[in-house]
Amino acid sequence: MVSGDVHGPDPVEGSVEYFRGGLYCSEAILRAFNESRGLGLAESAYRIATPLGVGMGTAKCSCGAVTGGLLVLGLAHGRDGVDESEEPAFALAKELHDRFRARYKVICCRGLTRRLPWGEPAHHEKCQEYVRFAAETVLSLLDEGPGGAPVPITPEGEDADACGACPTASLDRHVR
């Protein structure tokens, strides 16, 4: 379990700076939190986040900022064996998902970026916003835990059905 003591620079700003510097969202969040919170990953372990970029290796499924955040939460609160409870990690993972989805309506890269020209400045700026929000949420969860009432999911607006991967959409839409 990670303590609330910060061991280095601000992980939120670090995540954004690493993303601006060319790392994928998942890589940026994992690297910044590892450096800031002393999660114990060796430099070579950052590679684990690479396939999560661009929504799982260009599949444009789950946002890499969210999946990178899940890696951090798992390092901080995951279990080492079957004799330990998965509930702390599951509660934090669900809270990250719910907060992100409440804010942006979807968590899939395709839905989040579908109206943006891929690779253009507008796309990069929007993804930077997602990295910042995911990193802020992860930081809050590490410092305070999930706490409070669950965040309601309100799938409204034009992007609500942009991704069939979320529980409110049918399986048929996802398997196109």
pLDDT for 25-67, tens place per residue? 999 999 999 999 989 999 999 999 999 988 888 888 899 999 9
Of 46-60, 89-103, 124-138, least confident by mean pLDDT is 46-60
**Nearest-CA neighbor of 15 among 162, 158, 131, 141?**
131
Q: Is pLDDT larger for residue 118 or for residue 14? A: 14
Q: Which of 5-19, 49-63, 125-139 has the lowest mean pLDDT?
A: 5-19
pLDDT for residue 119: 86
Three-class secondary structure assignment of 41-65? CCHHHHHHHHHHHHHHHCCCCECHH
133-168 pLDDT, tens digit per residue, is: 999 999 999 998 776 444 433 343 444 445 555 544
> Whole-angstrom Cα distance, residue 32 to residue 30?
6
Taking 50 as the threshold, does the pLDDT of residue 22 lie above it?
Answer: yes
